[in-house]
């Protein structure tokens, strides 16, 4: 998926302009997977400090090498079905983001009342860029309960937040300084060591002390509340997006039609519709069940309604609390 993410972008950006932020354990593997990207453009975090710190570190590197560049922040684990349209929307987002002060996010039209994603509520129209609609962001919302998610989908004015952002480097750093001043100052000091032998040691000392917070909570939400400025925009992006972050998402990608049963192994279904079975080595016999997920692994079996697939995380948390590490 990392390679596919880069391949989607290379018609828009040369490989030398791509950067990747990863953890120190995976840095070597990322460099191998992205041979066209300069090795120095793979930034290795010594510890995880969430997306605000990661994007901040990347922004200072870009400022050091490229000045006030346009910056696209894109997760490396997104599936995009309509690549041509995606590129068109990226161009539109970059055009909107080119104006200093503008913060732009892509919003994915929801296909179901998903509880595992944050949502973006659009406000009034902000016109069109390269033929694509743009809106002011009214607010960002946290991952909702199921009933609230159903209301969001029914309203037609909410989008999933897929974590795809666009801005000028100066715009992001100004907002980082405003909303996370301690992180900004720490990274500004670190930037003085870029290109020197002091950088690696300084990174190990400075980075663990940064605030552990997402860019959504730290910057996008408070920036949206600045009603006097109104510089946060959303561009709807119907591009066949998925982060493949749940078994329900896997089902949606693989199902050839609505209510089809999808299985990784042999199965027989009697009056059964819309189910996902992951049991490569055993025959699954399904009778009278609908919209279920069944995942069979050597040490555990998961059974849940497809619409509750995101709640697997709650089971993982319980397993951690019970110290059942062999199951993780």
> Which tens digit of pLDDT belongs to each residue from 250-289?
998 899 998 999 999 999 999 999 999 999 999 999 999 9
For the segment 148-204, what is each residue's pLDDT rounded down to a tens digit? 999 999 999 999 999 999 999 999 999 999 999 999 999 999 999 999 999 999 999
| Structure confidence at residue 58 (pLDDT) | 98
Q: Which distant-in-sequence residues (6+ apart) come within 8 Å of 323 by Cβ?
A: none
C-beta of residue 100 within 8 angstroms of C-beta of residue 171: yes
Instruction: Say if pTM beats, i.e. exceeds, 0.85.
Output: yes
Give just the sign of the alpha carbon dihedral 323, 245, 312, 155.
Answer: positive
Ordered by start, the domain boundaries in the chain are 2-242, 247-327
Domain 2-242 listed as CATH 2.60.40.420: no
Give the CA count within 13 Å in the CB-facing half-sphere of 71: 29
- Pair 316, 309: CB distance under 8 Å: no
Q: Coil, strand or helix: which one is 292?
A: strand
Check pLDDT > 90 for residue 327: no
For 9-61, the DSSP string reads HTTTS-GGG--EEEETTTHHHHHHH-TTS-GGGEEEESS--HHHHHHHHHHHH
Mean pLDDT of the chain: 95
With a pLDDT cut of 90, the percent of the chain lying above it is 86
Check whether 229 has a pLDDT greater than 80: no
Q: Quote the CA–CA distance of 304 and 292 in Å, as a whole number.
A: 6
């Amino acid at each position: 998926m990392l390679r596919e993410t880069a391949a989607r972008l290379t018609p828009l950006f040369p490989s030398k302009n791509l950067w990747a932020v990863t953890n120190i354990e995976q840095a070597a593997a990322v460099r191998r997977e992205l041979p066209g990207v300069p090795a120095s453009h793979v930034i290795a975090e010594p510890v995880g400090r969430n997306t605000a710190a990661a994007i901040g570190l990347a922004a200072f590197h870009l400022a050091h090498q490229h000045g006030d560049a346009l910056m696209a922040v894109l997760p490396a684990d997104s599936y995009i079905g309509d690549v041509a349209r995606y590129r068109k929307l990226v161009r539109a987002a970059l055009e909107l983001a080119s104006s200093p002060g503008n913060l732009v996010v892509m919003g994915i039209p929801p296909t179901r009342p998903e509880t595992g994603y944050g949502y973006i509520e659009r406000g009034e129209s902000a016109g069109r860029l390269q033929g694509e609609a743009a809106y002011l962001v009214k607010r960002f919302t946290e991952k909702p309960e199921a009933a609230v998610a159903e209301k969001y989908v029914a309203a037609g004015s909410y989008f999933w937040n897929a974590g795809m952002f666009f801005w000028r480097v100066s715009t992001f750093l100004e907002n980082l300084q405003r909303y996370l001043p301690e992180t900004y100052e720490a990274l500004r000091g670190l930037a003085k060591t870029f290109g020197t032998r002091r950088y690696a040691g300084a990174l190990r000392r400075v980075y663990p002390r940064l605030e552990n917070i997402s860019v959504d909570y730290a910057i996008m939400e408070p920036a949206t509340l600045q009603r006097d400025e109104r510089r946060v925009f959303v561009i709807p992006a119907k591009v066949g997006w998925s982060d493949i972050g749940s078994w329900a998402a896997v089902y949606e990608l693989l199902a050839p039609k609505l209510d089809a049963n999808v299985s990784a192994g042999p199965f027989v279904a009697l009056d059964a519709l819309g189910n996902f079975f992951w049991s490569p080595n055993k025959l699954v016999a399904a009778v009278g069940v609908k919209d279920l997920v069944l995942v069979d692994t050597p040490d555990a079996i998961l059974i849940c309604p497809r619409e509750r697939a995101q709640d697997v995380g709650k089971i993982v948390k319980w397993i951690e609390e019970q110290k059942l590490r062999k199951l993780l």
